[in-house]
C-alpha cells in the first residue's frame, strides 16, 4: 500500500504518516512546510518507506503526478487555526479551496480513492447537539472572518460528494473535532498548546470570553487510527463521518486542569473575545460530536482521557523547549 498524505508534516498529518508507516505502508508526504514543520517528521529521515515532497497542494502538476503513483490519497493539507483564518482570510480561503479542488481533480483523473478532511466548524453555531452528520449547518455572517473556514470546508464537502455521485469516485469526508496532542502548535490559536506553553512559562493562562464555552478534545493518536481505519472501510465511501472525543469540558475547567497537570503557579486571566480576535468575533458555546456512525463503521471512537493527553503533551513540550537548537539542526540536516 502506497499512500499520499497532503499536509503530511502537519500536526495530524505527521501522526497519520507515522501510523501508516508503522503498518508497513509506503508514505509520500506532500507539504509546503507553511503550518507544517520538518521537525514533525525529522525522526523519519532515511526511513526507506517515507518520502517528502516539499510543495503545496496548489501545484497542480505535482499533485497529479503523485496521485498517479499512489493507491490512496489522504487530503489533510489546509490553512488551519482560528487566529490564522481571521488574520489571513484571503490566503486561507484561496489556499483551502484551490488545494481541495486540485486534489479531487487529480484523484478523479487517476481514479484513486480519497479521504477529505473537513471540520466540526461547519456545524457553526448550531445548538442541536450532539452534532449529527446529516444535520443542518448554522454558519455565521461573512462579516465575521472566522466563518470563512467553515464555508470553505463545506464547499470542499459538496465538491467531494459531487465527484462521488457524478463520477463514482470513492471519496470519504471526515469532520475532525478538536484534535489535540504532541506536535500541535499554539501559533495559530489552538487552546491546549497555548495553555501549556503559558503554564510552563509561569505566564497567565489566557481564557477567552467567559470560559463557560465547552469543547470535547480527541487524542490525535486515536484520530489518525480512525482515519486510517475508515480508508479501509468500503461502507465509508460517499459518507460524511464525524471523528472526535465525546467527553465535554469548559475552557475555564481546562485552564485549571492544565495548570494542575503542569504543576504551575500561573494565574488564570480572562480576556474578552474582541481583545483576543478583534471586533465581530463569534464563538460557539458547545461542540459535541455524534459518533454512532463512526462506531458503526470502524467499531471505535477517540476515548483517551484528557488527563493522559495533557500529561503526554506537557512532556513533549518540555522536551522541545529543552532542545530547540538540536532539533533545529536535525531538521536542517533532513532537508539537505
Ligand atoms: N481559547 C482560549 N484561550 C486561548 C485559545 C483559545 O480561551 O489561548 C478558547 C477559544 O476561544 C475557544 C476554545 O478555547 O472557545 C477552543 O479554541 P481552539 O482555537 O483551540 O478551537 P475551536 O474550538 O475554537 O476551533
Q: What is the pLDDT of residues 278-327, one digit of tens each?
A: 888 889 999 999 999 999 999 999 999 999 999 999 999 999 988 765 55
Total domains in the fold of the chain: 1
SS3 of 130, please? coil
> Strands 248-250, 240-243: parallel, antiparallel or unpaired by DSSP?
unpaired
**Domain of 110: which CATH number?**
3.40.50.720
pLDDT of amino acid 332: 46
Contact 243, 227 (CB under 8 A): yes
> Strands 2-6, 214-216: parallel, antiparallel or unpaired by DSSP?
unpaired
Q: What is the pLDDT of residues 26-62, one digit of tens each?
A: 999 999 999 999 999 999 999 999 999 999 999 999 9
Whole-number Å distance between alpha carbons of 334 and 41: 9
pLDDT of amino acid 327: 55
Q: CB within 8 A of 217, min separation 6: which ones?
A: 178, 179, 180, 192, 245, 247, 249, 306, 309
| Residue 251 Cα distances to 72, 181, 226, 257, angstroms | 37, 17, 26, 10
Contact 30, 53 (CB under 8 A): yes
pLDDT of amino acid 279: 85
| Structural domain boundaries, residue 306 | 2-332
3-state helix, strand and coil shares in percent for the chain, rounded to the nearest 5? 45, 15, 35
**How far apart are the CA of 256 and the centre of ligand 1, in A?**
15
Residue 6, ligand 1, Cβ within 6 A: no
Specify whether 219 is catalytic: no
Residue 208, ligand 1, Cβ within 6 A: yes
Q: Which of 149, 163, 219, 277 is catalytic?
A: 149
Contact 82, 146 (CB under 8 A): yes
Atom 16, ligand 1: residue with shortest CA distance: 191
**How far apart are the CA of 324 and the centre of ligand 1, in A?**
26
Cell numbers found for residue 71:
493507491
Number of helices (H), then strands (E), belonging to the chain: the values are: 12, 13
**How far apart are the CA of 121 and the centre of ligand 1, in A?**
12
Atom 1, ligand 1: residue with shortest CA distance: 191
CA nearest neighbour of 119 among 84, 148, 87, 161: 148
pLDDT of amino acid 336: 31
For the chain, how far is it from start to end, CA to CA, in angstroms?
27
Residue 215: half-sphere exposure toward Cβ, Cα within 13 Å:
21
pLDDT of amino acid 328: 53
> Strands 240-243, 171-176: parallel, antiparallel or unpaired by DSSP?
parallel
Cell numbers found for residue 251:
475552557
Residue 207, ligand 1, Cβ within 6 A: yes
Report residues of the chain scoring pLDDT below 50.
Answer: 329, 332-336
Amino acid at each position: 500500500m502506497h499512500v499520499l498524505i497532503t499536509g503530511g508534516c502537519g500536526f495530524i498529518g505527521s501522526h497519520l504518516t507515522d501510523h501508516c508507516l508503522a503498518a508497513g505502508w509506503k508514505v509520500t508526504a506532500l507539504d509546503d512546510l507553511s503550518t507544517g514543520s520538518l521537525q514533525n517528521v525529522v525522526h523519519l529521515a532515511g526511513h526507506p518507506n517515507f518520502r517528502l515532497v516539499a510543495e503545496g497542494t496548489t501545484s497542480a502538476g505535482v499533485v497529479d503526478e503523485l496521485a498517479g503513483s499512489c493507491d490512496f490519497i489522504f487530503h489533510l493539507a489546509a490553512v488551519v487555526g482560528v487566529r490564522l483564518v481571521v488574520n489571513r482570510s484571503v490566503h486561507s480561503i484561496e489556499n483551502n479551496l484551490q488545494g481541495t479542488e486540485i486534489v479531487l481533480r487529480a484523484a478523479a483523473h487517476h481514479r484513486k480513492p480519497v479521504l477529505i478532511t473537513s471540520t466540526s466548524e461547519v456545524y457553526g453555531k448550531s445548538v442541536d447537539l450532539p452534532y449529527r452528520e446529516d444535520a443542518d449547518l448554522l454558519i455565521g455572517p461573512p462579516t465575521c472572518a472566522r466563518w470563512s473556514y467553515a464555508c470553505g470546508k463545506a464547499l470542499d464537502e459538496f465538491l467531494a460528494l459531487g465527484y462521488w455521485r457524478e463520477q463514482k469516485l470513492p471519496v470519504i469526508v471526515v469532520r475532525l473535532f478538536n484534535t489535540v496532542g504532541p506536535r500541535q502548535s499554539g501559533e495559530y490559536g489552538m487552546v491546549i498548546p497555548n495553555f501549556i506553553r503559558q503554564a510552563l512559562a509561569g505566564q497567565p493562562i489566557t481564557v477567552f470570553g467567559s470560559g463557560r464555552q465547552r469543547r470535547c478534545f480527541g487524542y490525535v493518536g486515536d484520530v489518525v487510527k480512525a482515519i486510517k481505519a475508515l480508508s479501509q472501510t468500503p461502507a465509508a465511501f460517499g459518507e460524511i463521518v464525524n471523528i472526535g472525543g465525546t467527553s465535554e469540558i469548559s475552557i475555564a475547567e481546562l485552564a485549571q486542569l492544565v495548570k494542575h497537570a503542569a504543576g504551575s503557579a500561573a494565574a488564570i486571566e480572562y480576556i474578552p473575545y474582541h481583545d483576543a480576535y478583534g471586533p465581530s468575533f463569534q464563538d460557539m458555546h458547545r461542540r459535541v460530536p455524534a459518533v454512532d456512525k463512526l462506531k458503526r463503521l470502524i467499531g471505535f471512537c477517540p476515548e483517551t482521557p484528557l488527563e493522559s493527553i495533557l500529561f503526554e503533551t506537557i512532556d513533549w513540550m518540555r522536551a522541545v523547549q529543552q532542545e530547540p537548537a538540536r532539533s533545529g539542526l536535525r531538521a536542517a540536516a533532513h532537508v539537505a
